[in-house]
């Protein structure tokens, strides 16, 4: 068993028991959200045009390194990418283990389908291997384990960062997610249901699941009514919308960014500035990259996200995959990269 799984079961122990406040409410959907929402998301969350380029091997953002060092995986097996979406002047830096089930295209596509003003609150995205999809978010970094190429999972995770920071912008007030406040908790109390069994774990997971339904309402042409009798959670949904409805709404362009985490060496085996040859592809170490976002840049008001929420580590029920979307994403991404004179990847056979 890798440490990842023990982390996972630890998280279930910590956050799944009554100790940290199980909500014990009836649920709207007993089979999880994915079967009810993801086909609408695939159709109505538009991919954002982008190009990517890969960093020379040997350098990694400290925040990605922290995540990897909490697992049995080697930092030397990480790939780091700049992702330039057309709705933001500066890139997002994402980190991927070379054996992660999610390809760089999968990560870019699913992250890029989420509203840009929601992406604004995520500092880095990490993808690591995993037998099934699970994911964690802490200190504005979302980590996907296994195949989480699923919009509802991305929205859920990124909402943990909205929950943590949108009402406490520099995160300096200590662990203070919006969902821990009386406004949200009274709304839950006045409702007769929560979205699904996972939401019952605690207020933070409930908030993240309600955000998935709030996005559904915004992007589905018929709103939420076609989904079923959702009004049993209308108060949660409305309070959440008042807190971060703008961020959850697709469109526009980026309005704020975190400074990127400090760029550090993957470790001593990179040989600093000497030639390194490591990992599957025998990479050469290159010059230290410049951060895509740094203190003093016009959109960077708050340098460093604090560890506001702790890491919320989630597993999800009945995730619905879509290999058609995956193939289309490769074709699209390759054409965007090619037009910019950048690398392309072979389209995988599904």
Q: Would you tell me which residues interact with ligand NAG (CB under 6 A)?
A: 39, 42-43, 66, 70, 138-139, 307, 310-311, 322, 324-325, 328
Q: Please identify, using beta-carbon distances, which residue of 46 and 183 lies nearer to ligand NAG.
A: 46
* Tokens read off for 158: 């990124």
Nearest approach in angstroms of CB 127 to ligand NAG is 17
Q: Please identify, using beta-carbon distances, which residue of 42 and 302 lies nearer to ligand NAG.
A: 42
Nearest approach in angstroms of CB 186 to ligand NAG is 26
Q: Please identify, using beta-carbon distances, which residue of 209 and 261 lies nearer to ligand NAG.
A: 261
Residue 334: which residues within 8 A CB-CB, separation 6 or more? 344, 345, 347
SS3 125: strand
Nearest approach in angstroms of CB 151 to ligand NAG is 9
Nearest approach in angstroms of CB 36 to ligand NAG is 12
Nearest approach in angstroms of CB 307 to ligand NAG is 4
Closest CA to 54 of 286, 277, 339, 295: 286
Q: Please identify, using beta-carbon distances, which residue of 39 and 72 lies nearer to ligand NAG.
A: 39
Q: Please identify, using beta-carbon distances, which residue of 68 and 199 lies nearer to ligand NAG.
A: 68
- Which residue has its beta carbon closest to ligand NAG? 310
Residue 258: which residues within 8 A CB-CB, separation 6 or more? 121, 122, 123, 140, 293, 300, 302, 303, 304, 305
190-228 b/e with 16+ CB inside 10 Å = b? ebebbbbebbbbbbbbbbbbbbbbbbbbbbbeeebeebe
Nearest approach in angstroms of CB 261 to ligand NAG is 9
122-154 b/e with 16+ CB inside 10 Å = b? bbbbbbbbbeebbbbbbbbbbbbbbbbbbbbbb
Q: Please identify, using beta-carbon distances, which residue of 236 and 309 lies nearer to ligand NAG.
A: 309
Nearest approach in angstroms of CB 66 to ligand NAG is 5
Pairing of strands 263-265, 134-138: unpaired
Alpha helices for 76-224 (secondary structure H): 104-113, 116-119, 151-165, 182-190, 203-219
For the chain, the farthest-separated pair of C-alpha atoms sits apart, in whole angstroms, at 62
Nearest 10 degrees: CA dihedral of 159, 160, 163, 165? -110
* Tokens read off for 251: 């469109």
Closest CA to 170 of 293, 309, 302, 310: 302
Q: Please identify, using beta-carbon distances, which residue of 134 and 236 lies nearer to ligand NAG.
A: 134
Nearest approach in angstroms of CB 320 to ligand NAG is 7
Q: Please identify, using beta-carbon distances, which residue of 171 and 310 lies nearer to ligand NAG.
A: 310
- What is the enclosing helix (H) or strand (E) of 54? strand 50-54
């Amino acid at each position: 068993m890798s440490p990842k799984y023990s982390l996972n079961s630890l998280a279930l122990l910590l956050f799944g028991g009554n100790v940290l406040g199980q909500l014990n409410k009836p649920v709207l959907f007993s089979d999880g959200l994915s079967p009810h929402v993801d086909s609408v998301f695939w159709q109505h969350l538009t991919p954002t045009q982008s190009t990517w380029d890969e960093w020379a091997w040997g350098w990694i953002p400290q925040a990605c390194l922290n995540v990897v060092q909490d697992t049995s995986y080697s930092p030397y097996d990480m790939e780091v990418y700049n992702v330039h979406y057309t709705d933001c002047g500066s890139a997002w830096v994402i980190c991927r283990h070379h054996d992660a089930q999610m390809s760089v295209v999968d990560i870019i596509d699913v992250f890029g389908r989420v509203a840009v003003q929601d992406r604004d609150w995520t500092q880095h995205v990490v993808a690591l291997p995993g037998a099934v999809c699970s994911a964690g978010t802490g200190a504005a970094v979302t980590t996907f384990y296994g195949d989480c190429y699923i919009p509802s999972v991305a929205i859920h995770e990124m909402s943990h960062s909205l929950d943590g920071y949108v009402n406490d912008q520099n995160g300096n007030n200590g662990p203070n997610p919006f969902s821990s406040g009386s406004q949200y908790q009274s709304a839950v109390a006045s409702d007769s249901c929560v979205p699904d069994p996972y939401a019952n774990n605690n207020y933070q997971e409930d908030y993240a699941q309600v955000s998935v339904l709030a996005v559904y309402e915004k992007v589905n042409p018929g709103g939420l009514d076609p989904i079923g009798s959702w009004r049993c959670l209308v108060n949660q949904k409305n309070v959440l919308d008042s807190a971060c409805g703008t961020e959850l709404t697709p469109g526009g362009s980026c309005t704020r960014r975190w400074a990127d985490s400090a760029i550090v060496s993957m470790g001593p085996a990179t040989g600093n500035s000497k030639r390194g040859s490591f990992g599957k592809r025998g990479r050469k170490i290159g010059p230290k990259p410049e951060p895509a976002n740094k203190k003093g840049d016009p959109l960077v008001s708050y340098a460093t996200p604090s560890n506001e929420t702790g890491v919320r580590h989630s597993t999800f029920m009945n995730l619905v995959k879509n290999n058609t979307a995956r193939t289309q994403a490769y074709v699209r991404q390759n054409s965007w990269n090619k037009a910019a004179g950048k690398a392309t990847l072979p389209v995988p056979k599904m």
